Amino acid sequence: MIYLDNAATTKMKSEVYEAMKPYFDELYSNPSSIYSFAGKARKAVEDSRKTVADFLGVKANEIYFTGGGSESDNWALKGVAFAYRNKGKHIITTKIEHHAVLHTCEYLGKLGFEISYINVDENGVVKLDELKAAICPDTILISVIFANNEIGTVQPIKEIGKTVKENNILFHTDAVQAYGHIPINVDEYNIDILSASGHKINGPKGIGIMYLRNTVKIGSFIHGGAQERGMRAGTHNTPGIVGFAKATEIAEENLKKRAVYETELRDYLIQRALDEIPYTRLNGHRTQRLSNNANFCFRFIEGESLLILLDQKGICGSSGSACTSGSLDPSHVLLAIGFPHEIAHGSLRLTLSD
């Protein structure tokens, strides 16, 4: 089997599994309990929190563990919307966000919030002039994906963050695809809230984080207990939290080496495809893209048919986001960069690993 769908999920590294294992069968206590046995699990949770915080260059109490990237996105947008609605009800995002952001914005729109969806250029880069023009006195939040999950384009997050700070607006970024692959300095980029997920960096599924700057005050997302400083109720997923932290450590250690290797492999794949397959187009920015992402459109063929043919050869790929794999609609990302439906239907995303 040739697995080329690492944007959907990654294989857990053996070191991550070994780090998690004791918290399944030896140190299985609930971290919230008060006896000494539980203290070991509680320490593991807090040590993991510090590991993640150090990676992002933030304080440990600014990291909240969640059930994954989609939950983190939901919490970020709904949390800001409800907490700051007396200040304003206008939110700005882009047309190429992950559906965890787009569907949340759609939900908030039904509650009376005004949502502006900013266009992107033919490479999937957000139009900064349009974003700046959309800002008004009622704007409370801008949410822009760090690196697109389908076409891999990396956004000018630093420039967006500068604009956000100048206008005293909160800035959220869905960094699910970027975390562990691209160096992220939240202070340099003026990021107030960030979402990430464990299974995109060779960690476990069902665990994510939300970075929330201490100066940003939002309400709890899940009610029912005092976990996560009263902000997110529910028994801690200790093995998942430990696994997320271990995967973060490994990603940090190998970040530069991995980026070089994957970029060389990616560029080789892209060039061969463009040179040897007729009617092929690369989607997304040629260089300003994730090191492991290659996304193509092939004219005169359906993406689903192509995936079936590849599967018969033992090759795993995708036609877009795994979260919409059951949909027959063309990718909203490809439509946003200007593709007609008939071409957008012929897309193939191949995402590499080290």
What's residue 341's pLDDT? 85
Looking at 105, 136, 316, 323, which residue is catalytic?
Answer: 323
Global pTM value = 0.95
Q: Which band of pLDDT confidence, cut at 50, 70 and 90, is reported for residue 320?
A: low
Q: Which band of pLDDT confidence, cut at 50, 70 and 90, is reported for residue 61?
A: very high
CATH numbers and ranges of domains, the chain: 2-8+254-351 (3.90.1150.10), 15-250 (3.40.640.10)
What's residue 326's pLDDT? 52
What's residue 354's pLDDT? 87
In this predicted structure, the answer to whether residue 324 has a pLDDT above a threshold of 60 is: no
CA 125 to CA 293: how far, in whole Å? 15
Tell me, yes or no, if 297 is annotated catalytic.
no
What's residue 209's pLDDT? 98
What's residue 159's pLDDT? 97
What's residue 253's pLDDT? 97
What's residue 328's pLDDT? 61
pLDDT digits (tens, 9 = 90+) for 248-267: 999 999 999 999 999 999 99
What's residue 321's pLDDT? 57
Tell me what the pLDDT averaged over the chain comes to. 95
Q: Which band of pLDDT confidence, cut at 50, 70 and 90, is reported for residue 327?
A: low
Count CB atoms within 10 A of the CB of residue 37: 11
Q: Which band of pLDDT confidence, cut at 50, 70 and 90, is reported for residue 304?
A: confident
pLDDT cut 90: percent of the chain above it: 92
Q: What's the rounded mean pLDDT across residues 307-315?
A: 96
pLDDT digits (tens, 9 = 90+) for 95-127: 999 999 999 999 999 999 999 999 999 999 999
In this predicted structure, the answer to whether residue 10 has a pLDDT above a threshold of 90 is: yes
Q: What's the rounded mean pLDDT across residues 40-47?
A: 98
In this predicted structure, the answer to whether residue 35 has a pLDDT above a threshold of 70 is: yes
What's residue 344's pLDDT? 85
43: Cβ contacts below 8 Å, ≥ 6 apart: none
